[in-house]
Amino acid sequence: MKLRFSRSQLCIPYALFLALFVVLPLVIVFYFALTDKSGNFSLANFSRFFFDPALISTMIVSMAIGAAATIICLLLGYPVAYILARSGWHRKNVLLLLLVMPMWINFVLRINALKEFMQLIGILGKYNFLNTVLGMVYDFLPFMILPLYTTLIKIDKSLLEASADLGATPSTTFLSVTLPLSTPGILSGITMVFMPTMTVYVISDALGLGHVVILGKQIEHYFGSGDNWNMGSTIALVLLLVIFASTFLSNRFKDEESEEKGRALW
């Protein structure tokens, strides 16, 4: 006897997974963020987050690390993605695979290896902020290259040829055609690098020797030794809202660009 399932029935396991491991944790985070230790509704956690000097300084440091790592990843990743996308190499996918392969190695192992290398050359403990930024770049550079490469390889080469036929120089073609069309990849890469670098405290602890405190470390502190789940949930909720906002703006920009392309075709 053959068992037949409808599409709605096949979605039940996925819906249960989302409910248990996505929706329920979010509900718990919202609950603790909007209550005090007594369980009463309170917005004191949010006021403390935006007015506590210690948390403000931590947020500034986190944003500085995130911005520096994102800019460096973009400056390094864009030329690599551009060369791979525009090259005629038959095995460029192999080169892309080599760039992604470090992501398959255990995260902690990679960071400890970088820590040992920094200690070997004598910079560990001397430039805590810089070492943390370098660690972020080392870990998140593939997350910048992949969306850039995916976007650049989809650009119609006939547009580049048309620009050259009209007398545009290679630099003009790049600035007028390639760069604007690769904006979605740039935005995706920035989103995938900036927010995680503000929360991955394992890197700041290992390479900054605990002297560089970022928001992720604060969340770990409040959920751990700080014994203040309400404040930890507030920080996590604020970061989550920022991620949602950046994703929404990025998708909206992509939709507007698609509409503009459609109008141009018509």
Q: Where are the domains of the chain?
A: 42-260
Q: What's the rounded Cα separation, in Å, for the pair 35 and 53?
A: 22
Rounded (10°) angle between helices 229-265 and 215-223: 140
Instruction: Report the percent of the chain where pLDDT is more than 70.
Output: 91
pLDDT at 265 over 50: no
Contact yes or no for 195/242 (Cβ under 8 A)? yes
pLDDT at 78 over 90: yes
pLDDT at 259 over 60: no
Q: Which stretch of 3-7, 62-66, 101-105, 176-180 has the lowest confidence by average pLDDT? A: 3-7
pLDDT at 93 over 80: no
Dihedral of the alpha carbons of 94, 97, 102, 104, in degrees to the nearest 10: -130
Confidence label for 255 from pLDDT (cuts 50, 70 and 90): low
Find tokens 């547009």 and name the residue. 159
pLDDT at 168 over 60: yes
Long-range contacts of 196-201 (CB under 8 A, 24+ apart): 196/140, 196/143, 197/65, 197/66, 197/69, 197/70, 197/136, 197/140, 198/62, 198/63, 198/65, 198/66, 198/239, 199/62, 199/239, 200/136, 200/139
Contact yes or no for 207/114 (Cβ under 8 A)? yes
Contact yes or no for 217/64 (Cβ under 8 A)? no
Contact yes or no for 139/110 (Cβ under 8 A)? yes
Q: Which CATH architecture fits 42-260?
A: Orthogonal Bundle (1.10)
Q: How confident is the model over 106-160, as pLDDT tens digits?
A: 888 889 999 999 999 999 888 899 999 999 999 999 999 999 999 999 888 888 8
Confidence label for 257 from pLDDT (cuts 50, 70 and 90): low
Q: What's the rounded Cα separation, in Å, for the pair 220 and 178?
A: 42
Give the mean pLDDT of the chain: 86
Q: Read off the pLDDT of each residue in 40-52 and give the average, rounded to a whole number.
A: 90
Confidence label for 2 from pLDDT (cuts 50, 70 and 90): low
